[in-house]
Amino acid sequence: MFYLLDIIGTMAFAMSGALTAMNKKMDPFGVLIIAFVTSVGGGTLRDVMIGRTPVGWMRDLNYVYAILIGFTIALIFRKKLDRFRTSLFLFDTIGLGVFTLIGLQKGINIHLNPVICIALGTMTACFGGVIRDILCNDIPVIFRKEIYATICIAGGIVFFGLKELHLDNDLLYLITSLVIIVIRLMAVKFRWTLKPVEKG
Amino acid sequence: MFYLLDIIGTMAFAMSGALTAMNKKMDPFGVLIIAFVTSVGGGTLRDVMIGRTPVGWMRDLNYVYAILIGFTIALIFRKKLDRFRTSLFLFDTIGLGVFTLIGLQKGINIHLNPVICIALGTMTACFGGVIRDILCNDIPVIFRKEIYATICIAGGIVFFGLKELHLDNDLLYLITSLVIIVIRLMAVKFRWTLKPVEKG
Amino acid sequence: MFYLLDIIGTMAFAMSGALTAMNKKMDPFGVLIIAFVTSVGGGTLRDVMIGRTPVGWMRDLNYVYAILIGFTIALIFRKKLDRFRTSLFLFDTIGLGVFTLIGLQKGINIHLNPVICIALGTMTACFGGVIRDILCNDIPVIFRKEIYATICIAGGIVFFGLKELHLDNDLLYLITSLVIIVIRLMAVKFRWTLKPVEKG
């Protein structure tokens, strides 16, 4: 079940990456690469930094297939995707929750400090988008106003708070994902953004 | 022989990187670094992702010397290099073929899936240029129209196709390199480019 | 003592990163990430390339705390930091010396060639700034005129020159740091910069 959500999240991230690349007038290869890094870039960065190599997507081809499918759908339906904006956004949000949890868990697996685990969760969920923006020659959107990353950090804190209560692992995962997903939905609905730091 | 071609390719990539950096009005240190990442950036990324550390150029100084020589030649003859454009382009194309094969082989060595091996070959040959463009604050040229990467992928498919025929390894290498080199030459001669995806 | 200087350098780099990010009108999360990569980005890149994983800051939380403190100070005193410009610059320069030495030593520890060790020292001290500039969508300042990196290379050469004399390790460290720090101070005082390579 969790694995399935992971694959759905990967596909959603690939589609959103492909759409960004098409807006930048990239060629099909560029679109494919941006789809790729958007969906697995964060996890790749995490794996490389903790020494889990070959990195994830090289060991499980399902991620590669999910990206190729997401890329193909985005390419074929590029003119009609606006109609499915809500579904896309929902899958993307599921990805955010699931990716954060996977990053947290990978840190826990090798006994890293909770602070580092939260950093790994945030990196997994958000840094694919950072690499995408760099490749598209933009300042990463999550550094400017998106509260994306802040939600992942909040989710990580909730996770370790609940962990202290010795909850069942499945329940722990479920609640944390829901917290991330709900905050994300509320953030978009109520237009929560971070303001730039005023230096003046 | 293959090793020699690898070193020649490294030098050619370093020269082309140095020329790009000089066009961006960088200082000598900047030019050196861009030469460096253009030639070994792709292989470094590959090594880091498959856990082959310390990465290649740290273990064999000949790559470093090849880059330093390429950098020095580009610096000294910067005003006359236009006259040698054809030779430079030829060496660069040899590099493309050789680097793709090296990437493929590194993946095979650790028993990765052919799809991943082709990704590694393409990464080895093309992502030095991607890092160069990012450091120069451009959208990577291979994401916009260059069919560079597509040729590497085609070469990889040919490689695994021929491998099924149980060809001799040397022959396999030779044919794949030639396929890549010939397509590249034809691509330039007939101005094959990829068109941006129209989102309209 | 050396460890203390390392922590002070980390904090100084974090503060300078935070200031750059605030000038780019980033939000607090963006400012934090830029502070983070400016201070530990170079060491992280080095660790990943030599296979020393999980990377440094994941194993010793003091670096993370130093960054958080530097970030917080920069955020609170952002309007008054100009007054402390000289102290900040001094700490930053100490960081430059210490980080170069740490990079050199990590290379020596795994018996890499002196040329590679000098590259690692330079990478440790300078590439946090490179990643910062890329994330801020600028061409890295050390590629354009700053002699920052050249000083690290010079320091590395002095280090290996003195090492031949079989100096005591502490003395070796002290002299190399002082060389780097003094050249850096002189470079700023006398406005030494590198000129772009003229291609015309």
Domain that holds residue A36: 2-189
Give the lowest-confidence range in A34-48, A78-92, B33-47.
A78-92
- Domain contains B199: no
DSSP state, residue C194: P
**Cβ-defined contact of A58 to B112 (cutoff 8 Å):** yes
B121 band by pLDDT with thresholds 50, 70 and 90: very high
pLDDT above 70 for A199: no
Distance separating the N- and C-terminal Cα atoms of chain B: 50
Residue C40's pLDDT is what? 96
Give the lowest-confidence range in A51-55, A83-87, B38-42, B114-118.
A83-87
**Cβ-defined contact of A200 to C79 (cutoff 8 Å):** yes
Residue A109's pLDDT is what? 95
- Domain contains B179: yes
- Domain contains C123: yes
- Domain contains C169: yes
CA-derived radius of gyration, chain C? 16
Give the lowest-confidence range in A99-113, B111-125, C155-169.
C155-169
Chosen from A58, A60, A77, A82 to mutate, greatest number of chain B CBs within 10 A: A58
Residue C142 touches chain B, beta carbons under 8 Å: yes
- Domain contains A198: no
The predicted-structure confidence for C143-160, as pLDDT tens digits, reads as follows 887 788 899 999 999 999
List the structure tokens of C40: 């530990």
Q: How many structural domains comprise chain B? A: 1
A124 near A42, Cβ under 8 Å? yes
Residue B200's pLDDT is what? 55
Q: Which residues of chain C lie closer than 8 angstroms to B135, CB-CB?
A: 130, 134, 139-140, 143
**Cβ-defined contact of A49 to C51 (cutoff 8 Å):** no
Residue B163 touches chain C, beta carbons under 8 Å: no
pLDDT above 90 for B57: yes
C33 band by pLDDT with thresholds 50, 70 and 90: very high
Q: What is the ipTM of this complex?
A: 0.90
Backbone angles phi, psi at B85, to 5 degrees: -55, -40
DSSP state, residue B143: G
Closest residue in chain A to residue C41, using alpha carbons only: A49
Backbone angles phi, psi at C55, to 5 degrees: -60, 160
Q: Which segments of A24-137 does DSSP mark as H helices, in order?
A: 28-50, 56-59, 61-76, 85-109, 114-135
List the structure tokens of C130: 């490179």
- Domain contains C65: yes
The predicted-structure confidence for C113-149, as pLDDT tens digits, reads as follows 999 999 999 999 999 999 999 999 988 988 887 788 8
B132: closest CA among B4, B13, B29? B13
CA–CA separation, A33 and B99 (whole Å): 19
The predicted-structure confidence for A133-164, as pLDDT tens digits, reads as follows 999 998 898 888 778 889 999 999 999 999 88
Burial of residue C106 (number of CB atoms within 10 Å: 0-12, 13-18, 19+) = buried
Query: What letter represents residue B197's amino acid?
Result: V
The predicted-structure confidence for C58-84, as pLDDT tens digits, reads as follows 999 999 999 999 999 999 988 877 777
Q: What is the mean pLDDT of chain C?
A: 90
The percent of residues above 90 in pLDDT, for chain A, comes to 59
Q: Which segments of chain B does DSSP mark as H helices, in order?
A: 2-23, 28-50, 56-59, 61-76, 85-109, 114-135, 148-163, 169-189
Per-position b or e across B148-179, b if 16+ CB within 10 A of its CB: bbbbbbbbbebbbebeeeeeeeeebbeebbeb
pLDDT above 60 for B163: yes
- Domain contains A35: yes
- Domain contains B196: no
Secondary structure element (H or E) that encloses residue A184, with its range: helix A169-189
Of C49, C194, C200, the CB nearest to B29: C194
- Which chains are adjacent to chain C, needing at least 3 Cβ pairs under 8 Å? A, B
CA A63 to chain centre: 14
Of C110, C115, C195, the CB nearest to B27: C195
Residue B144 touches chain A, beta carbons under 8 Å: yes
CA distances from B142 to B27, B106, B131, C57 (A): 25, 23, 11, 34
Residue C54 touches chain B, beta carbons under 8 Å: no
Is it true that the peptide bond before B54 is cis, omega within 30 degrees of 0?
yes
pLDDT above 90 for A93: no
